[in-house]
Structure 1
Amino acid sequence: MSGKLALTLACGDYEIVRALKEGEVKPDGIELTMLTSMDSTTRHWRFLRGREFDVGEVSSSSYLLARDQDMPFQAIPVFLHRRFRHGFAFVNTSKGITTPKDLIGKRVGVKSYQVSAVLWLRGILEHEYGVPHKSIEWFAEYDEDVEFVPPAGLKLTRLNDKQNCEDMLVSGELDAVLHADLIWPIVQRHPAVARLWPDYKAEELNYFRKTSIFPIMHVMGLKREIVEKYPWAPIELQKAFEAAKAIGMKRMENPRIAPLAWYREAWEEQEEVLGPDPWEYGMTERNRHTLETLVGYSHEQGLMKRKMSLDELFIDVSQGRKRGGYRI
């Protein structure tokens, strides 16, 4: 036996965790069993409902609800998944929806109501485009990671097992769909479906330049009993994720890594717009702004009953002022 703390970690199979998965980076004092093959929706459910993993990459929106309901989880400021979301709003082309305000009074499908991508989109639609979330009739395909009581005035219907948002959008039963993933009618270029914002990248660039927000989708959750019994473990995990990301980002600078003709140009464009580390971890000023915005959306939309502070929501992984270096 190694004498190390054995933990099970479930996360996506990202380049920025490759060094951790392959053992190039090892968190001090911890022996990890990493699970990286399951899809996000399944992982979030199994972590929050089944408590199957000690550490799990989890929906930021669902984590906020879990903490609001005092479920036994905490999180470190590691954000493996971010994504701009304007490109994930889809409309039926026969419905005359050409601007965001055309969604008012419409029937809109979602993967699940509390999924992070949809929480971000609802907040963006309301605050940037004047579309109140309660002005829409919502239809959710999946049940929720964390049960919640819909607030008064929210029109939310759960679809049955034989229904799905994508087919209902094509048929016209739904006017629009907000989704976490690219839906099959877009991938297959079905004429009945288009994006709400045809030039979604321009919208996303304008949104970032206005708000400085690169939306955080997932946080790194831990079982509360692990944190209480081994208070040093979150810091060592944070350090390991930081080290793995640094190795992954360095590797991805090489244009030969990806089979894309203009890969390096895209890398340089990202750096010019988002800065040298768009996937920064920790409670930086920009991350605080992004997370406070998300908490505000969650509370405003009736998911969180109390607007919790980031200091309540995330473990302090600092090691003391001027400390944490490697000088002996």
Structure 2
Amino acid sequence: MTKKLELTLACGDYEIVRPLKEGLVRPDGIELNILTGADSATRHWRFLRNEEYDIAECSASSYIAARARDLPFRALPVFLHRRFRHGFIFVNTSKNITKPSDLIGKRIGVKFYLVSAILWLRGILENEYGVPHKSIEWFAELDEDVAFTPPPGLKLTRLPDDKSVEKMLADGELDAVLHPDIIDPIINKDPRVGRLFPDYKSEEERYYAKTGIFPIMHVLGIKKALVEQHPWIVPNLYQAFEESKNLAMKRMRNPRLVPLAWYQEAWEEQERLLGPDPWEYGLGERNAHNFNTLVGYSHQQGLIDRMIPLDELFLPVSQGRKRGKFRT
């Protein structure tokens, strides 16, 4: 009996990985033990700090910082999580913050400083709205996935364990919070907290129309030693993730699967605005522009000391021109 290489993969419990998780798709020569129980922040820490998994979905911004420090990780251009971020700028409603420039000079909280959502938002605020990241006093709740020393001129305070940026925002200790998730005061409809962009979807549509960017949040990280020992696993994993996504998208076209009244309309709107495959993998022109923008923000904000080219950040997944499709 052929023995497969047993590897542990940690990732989110997404529809696009369901076929892998359920065994409908199996990477050639690999037996995956798939773990989906950890939240993103915990998974990224356990991979980048402790090297607990062979393969893991991890923060794109933290991975860029890890590569700049030559930590023992590589990545495949598999992007399991993307999200527009204009709707994740939350403000205290008593502070008269109604437009991006009102954030200049303010006290802003973040869950942690390096996380992709916050790097995207700092970059967007600076480059699209003229809000310099160094004009803000930052307060971070958690330590980072990758250790880093704040660059000169950055005002960053690490909060004690008994402080929460969400509560500090509601109580008025912070003027605003940038967060990767919808915060509890918004969920609970706390009148003390609102969004900087109440009509954030329209703002995100304008951003996409201008830039063509549907922001990449996460990459598929893999241990460097594993790639060096078994280089063949890279294209095999990539093909399996592509197949899993394709099967998932075919399944999700059935509006009966989702308990939303206007699901079909939402699906058609996404295709109209973002194209037929906004979740595409690989380093085609759109994804290259997308990720190079994030690398540029990292460099602009002093998190890395040079612009790292994409061929240093991502492993090659090509199996040769016009090759890679299975034929009998």
TM-score interval, normalised by the smaller of the two chains = over 0.9
Tell me the SS of whatever aligns to 1:256.
helix
Q: Does 1:51 align with 2:65?
A: no
Q: What residue number does 1:239 align with?
A: 239
Give the aligned length: 328
Q: What residue number does 1:252 align with?
A: 252
Identical aligned pairs, as a percentage? 69
How far apart, in 1, do the equivalents of 2:325 and 2:12 lie? 29
Matching of residues 98-117 of structure 1 within 5 Å: 98-117=98-117
Matching of residues 100-139 of structure 1 within 5 Å: 100-139=100-139
Q: What displacement does 1:2 show?
A: 4.6
Q: What residue number does 1:32 align with?
A: 32
Please tell me the root mean square deviation across aligned C-alpha atoms, in Å.
0.7
Q: Which amino acid aligns with 1:204?
A: E
Q: Which amino acid aligns with 2:249?
A: M
Q: What displacement does 1:306 show?
A: 1.9
Q: What residue number does 2:67 align with?
A: 67
- Provide, for residues 68-113 of structure 1, a one-character-per-residue CA deviation record: whole Å limited to 9, x for no partner: 0000000000000000000000000000100000000000000100
How far apart, in 2, do the equivalents of 1:145 and 1:326 lie? 39
Q: Please, what TM-score do these two structures have when normalized by structure 2? A: 0.99
Q: What displacement does 1:322 show?
A: 1.9
Q: What residue number does 1:321 align with?
A: 321
Q: Which amino acid aligns with 1:87?
A: G
How far apart, in 1, do the equivalents of 2:51 and 2:200 lie? 37
Q: What residue number does 2:82 align with?
A: 82
Q: What residue number does 2:183 align with?
A: 183
- Provide, for residues 193-212 of structure 1, a one-character-per-residue CA deviation record: whole Å limited to 9, x for no partner: 00000100000000000000
How far apart, in 2, do the equivalents of 1:174 and 1:209 lie? 32
Q: What displacement does 1:37 show?
A: 1.1
Q: Which amino acid aligns with 1:97?
A: I
How far apart, in 1, do the equivalents of 2:173 and 2:90 lie? 14
CA separation of 1:138 and 1:101: change in aligned 2, threshold 3 A: same
Deviates more, 1:1-10 or 1:189-198: 1-10
- Provide, for residues 219-238 of structure 1, a one-character-per-residue CA deviation record: whole Å limited to 9, x for no partner: 00000011000001011000
Q: What residue number does 2:162 align with?
A: 162
Q: Which amino acid aligns with 1:92?
A: N
Deviates more, 1:303-312 or 1:85-94: 303-312
Q: What residue number does 1:303 align with?
A: 303
Q: Please, what TM-score do these two structures have when normalized by structure 1? A: 0.99
How far apart, in 2, do the equivalents of 1:311 and 1:72 lie? 16
The runs of 5 or more residues in structure 2 that have no matched partner are: none
- Provide, for residues 26-75 of structure 1, a one-character-per-residue CA deviation record: whole Å limited to 9, x for no partner: 00000100001110000000000110000000000000000000000000
How far apart, in 2, do the equivalents of 1:292 and 1:265 lie? 32
The runs of 5 or more residues in structure 1 that have no matched partner are: none
Tell me the SS of whatever aligns to 1:267.
helix
Structure 1 outlier segments of 4+, above 3 Å: none
Tell me the SS of whatever aligns to 1:248.
helix
Deviates more, 1:7-16 or 1:303-312: 303-312
How far apart, in 1, do the equivalents of 2:9 and 2:327 lie? 30
How far apart, in 1, do the equivalents of 2:325 and 2:276 lie? 22
Q: What residue number does 1:214 align with?
A: 214
How far apart, in 1, do the equivalents of 2:270 and 2:2 lie? 42
How far apart, in 2, do the equivalents of 1:141 and 1:252 lie? 37
Q: Which amino acid aligns with 2:236?
A: E
